[in-house]
A and B are shown apart, each in its own frame.
Chain A
Amino acid sequence: MDGRKTISRRRVLAAGTAGIVGAALPMAGQSPDQAARPRVAADSTKVQGPTSTDVGARSPFERPKRLSLNDRRTSSLTPLQDLDGIITPSDLHFERHHGGVPAIDPQAYSLLIHGLVDRPLVFTLADLRRFPGRSMIRMMECSGNGGRAYRREGSATDQTPQQIDGLTSTSEWTGVALATLLREAGVSPKAKWLLAEGMDAAVMTRSVPIEKAWDDALIAYGQNGEPLRPEQGYPVRLFLPGVEGNASIKWLRRIEVADQPFMTREETSKYTDPLPDGTARIFSLDMDAKSLITEPAFPDQLTGPGWWEIRGLAWSGRGKIAKVDISTDGGKTWQLAKLDEPVLPKCHTRFRLPFEWRGGETTLMSRATDETGYAQPTLDVLMAARGPATAYHFNHIRGWKVLADGSVKFAAGA
């Protein structure tokens, strides 16, 4: 017994074809090269292994991959089903960009702060690193995440956690508090909003309420112990904890302090939420509480009745997760899941619950409640509030149907 009772894709890869040398058949969603199995010595105790390396690599048996759902590859999703704990490896953090990933020389980099300030200032990367810093472990979620579960694609059963909700990731972010830089520049009492602008080909811009800057906005240069990855904004990005990812402008070159929002293309024509009453919500920044079971999930296969562990992630843009309830009978009864430490605000929180599968069909569901008392709604409740064609913020309860043969299928709002 290796303690891994759930057979997920990677675990099938690692263990399911033991002893077979050559290519195994690809599983759903895999490319043939993912299924190719590396050759290793039959007995590792009888040969000396390779020596140390400058930069490590994953075991050749582990090949988690981001997944891009569109041909233009303007986004990619985190393989949530392949991850343990709460930290997303930096090279698997989801991506979304609007003009590709720019290449920026950190020595040529600078950040301008101007507008309603006493002293317009320019900071080099070295300047930013010289300021008192801070690190925080926080999630980032795209507000379009889960759209496939909400809309008609949700009726497709053969979807992985990555395909459904892979636009969320958690990192330890390091940088200087935006508030520190604003104090350095001296902000006018008239200041109410600021514009953050990137130096990608889209010259991406979003308006941010000044309160967020004074609260917990970070000018980030570090991610999981190293400089930001290029696709995450190298060398410097804005990071707004708990806020829809689009507003955390990458490749940050400029912050302008102003008395009103700028009404950029992203925050007006795109990231707004039409409502059934004929209005559209604008600056809907906070991410509502949400959870997702990542194991067992499609394309897992329970190999037989007995004890399994239900595992997943819960998070809220408004604070800590207070609890996660799990139903193993399609929502009729609910049990409290165990939350792994640490339980951090605005951060992925790992939950677990032992599950005795007695064979037969059943539906697994998870429901997160955050410290404000907000509980993840059912699909029906969310759709009544937002309308079937709304855009963004799709946080309803997700279900996974376990079929009698042990296969697991996505069950939308179940």
Chain B
Amino acid sequence: MKTIIATALIAASASAFALAQSGARATARQPSRLEIGRAATADEIKKLDIDVMPDGRGLPAGRGTVAEGATIYAAKCRSCHGANGEGAAFDRLVSRESGPNFNFAMDPKLVKTVGNYWPYATTLYDYTYRAMPFMQPGSLTANETYSLVAYILALNKIVPEDAVMDQSTLPKVVMPARDRFVLDNRKGGKLVK
């Protein structure tokens, strides 16, 4: 009897030790999987998974042109962002001006826009599709979104007037500011960075 208890205790503490090693905060006897929750179906993932990555993963089928984008913009975007993306009540979308050396840290007059600051064109698709227009969020179709992206990129002279945006062309657009971004190098310690 004593032996059995001792063995059980050793087993319990070994299991607790293993969990502590793996960073688990559960009590000793709980396995890492608790079988709580249910399997997600492919359909419900598809319904929510609207994000687009810089390499184009997540972009849906569909296409849009600059001219189509101009029409949609005039109807759904200009009241907030100005007739030509110059900004109004909300953000300015168009400008390539960034000073001699991407002077945003030094010149408070510079305004960050899609043209001078956004590093990835895919972000413009992702954000416009998920959150715009502000008063009808999530109401744009894929074709409308591609068209608006094409139009805003053309206003910024990043793509030509005859550009067609779709899941193969959009990820290939190289934004002017793409290589300006660096990972955080602050690590604490004495140095102020």
A positions within 8 Å CB-CB of B? 98-99, 112-114, 119-124, 127, 130-132, 134, 151, 177, 179-180, 183-184, 186, 195, 197, 201-203, 205, 214, 253-254, 256, 258, 260, 262-265, 268-269, 272-286, 288, 316, 318-319, 370, 372-375, 377, 381-382, 385-391
Contact = CB atoms under 8 A, between A and B. Distances in A.
Contact of B51 (A98, A151, A197, A272): A197
A205 B130 contact: yes
Contacts, number: 192
Interface in B75-95: none
Interface string B13-34: 0000000000111110010111
A386 B48 CA distance: 38
Interface in B101-124: 101-108, 110, 112, 114, 117-120, 122-123
B1 interface: no
B131 interface: yes
A319 B187 CA distance: 12
B106 A276 contact: yes
B40 A120 contact: yes
Contact of A202 (B34, B50, B137, B193): B137
Query: Which 10 residue pairs across A and B have the least CB separation, nearest first?
Result: A387-B105, A372-B188, A274-B104, A265-B127, A120-B40, A274-B105, A278-B101, A389-B108, A278-B102, A203-B130
B102 A274 contact: yes
Contact of B53 (A179, A262, A318): A262
B25 A134 contact: yes
A375 B190 contact: yes
Contacts of B177: 280
Nearest to A186: B33
B40 A122 contact: yes
Given A197-B51, A268-B119, A387-B106, A121 B38 contact: yes
Contacts of B123: 263-265, 268-269
Which of the four size classes fits the interface of chain B?
35 or more
A130 B48 CA distance: 24
A388 B110 CA distance: 12
A197 B131 CA distance: 12
B135 to A, nearest CB: 9
A273 B184 CA distance: 9
Contacts of A123: 36-37
A278 B182 CA distance: 10
A131 B188 contact: no
A281 B180 CA distance: 9
Given A254-B48, A278-B101, A278-B180, 17 more contacts: A99-B131, A121-B39, A122-B44, A134-B25, A183-B24, A201-B138, A202-B131, A263-B53, A275-B182, A282-B181, A282-B183, A285-B184, A286-B184, A286-B188, A370-B188, A372-B187, A374-B192
Contacts of A121: 37-40
A205 B50 CA distance: 11
B26 to A, nearest CB: 5
A201 B131 contact: yes
Interface in B163-190: 177, 180-190
A389 B105 contact: yes
Contacts of B131: 98-99, 201-203, 265
A129 B190 CA distance: 41
B105 A382 contact: no
Contact of A279 (B54, B181, B186): B181
B181 to A, nearest CB: 4
B105 A275 contact: yes
Contacts of A197: 48, 51
A388 B127 contact: no
A385 B192 contact: yes
A390 B106 CA distance: 7
Contacts of B188: 286, 316, 318-319, 370, 372-374
B108 A151 contact: yes
B167 to A, nearest CB: 16
A176 B110 CA distance: 43
A113 B48 CA distance: 11
Given A121-B39, A264-B123, A318-B188, A279 B102 contact: yes
Nearest to B89: A72
A201 B119 CA distance: 24
B114 to A, nearest CB: 8
A214 B44 CA distance: 26
Contact of A263 (B24, B34, B120, B193): B120
